Amino acid sequence: MPDFQERIEKRRRMLERLTGLIPGYNRYQQLEKRRDADRANRDILYGDLKEQIDALERLNLALTDAKKIDDLDDVDRALSKLRTVADRIRLADYGVSGFFDALKIEEEELDRMYDFDLSLAEHVKAIKDKVAEIKVDEPVIEHLLELDLLIEGLDQRFSKREQVMMGVQ
């Protein structure tokens, strides 16, 4: 068995040496790892937002059961905005570029994007906290107005992502 493991390790080292001979390949691998981390971060953000969408949908059902139909339009408006922002985050460009593409997102730009995406987590947490405060047996309009402002803040912050990608900000 050790002989088999040694052969695998020897082949791995040989492959690393071969790829090391290709100019720029190691850097390319590092950039790919950063892209993967960027994508994973945004997937987490999207998952958190999806949970809030589900919670608002449950709130909608609970309001309907409680016959508080006057609040349904406000919840639907918040849901629509939240879905839009969540989809923008989920579908955002994450710096895909092939090894020989003319336009490549450089390491520094990817770091800026990654830091920017991490800052979005604060906005998502504020939305999560606000959704948790909304109760069917209490007036919901004030909470929904505050939630709307938080969603708009996240949307505006995310709109700056392209500027961050281009190194403007």
| Cα–Cα distance, 109 to 111 (Å, whole number) | 5
Residue 80 has pLDDT above 90, yes or no: yes
Structure tokens at 119: 């800052």
Judge if pTM exceeds 0.85.
Answer: no
Higher-confidence residue: 22 or 44?
A: 44
| Cα–Cα distance, 37 to 88 (Å, whole number) | 18
Domain ranges for the chain:
33-165
Q: ∠ CA 36-19-1 to the nearest 5 degrees?
A: 90
Alpha-carbon distance values, 9 to 3, 12, 25 (Å): 10, 5, 20
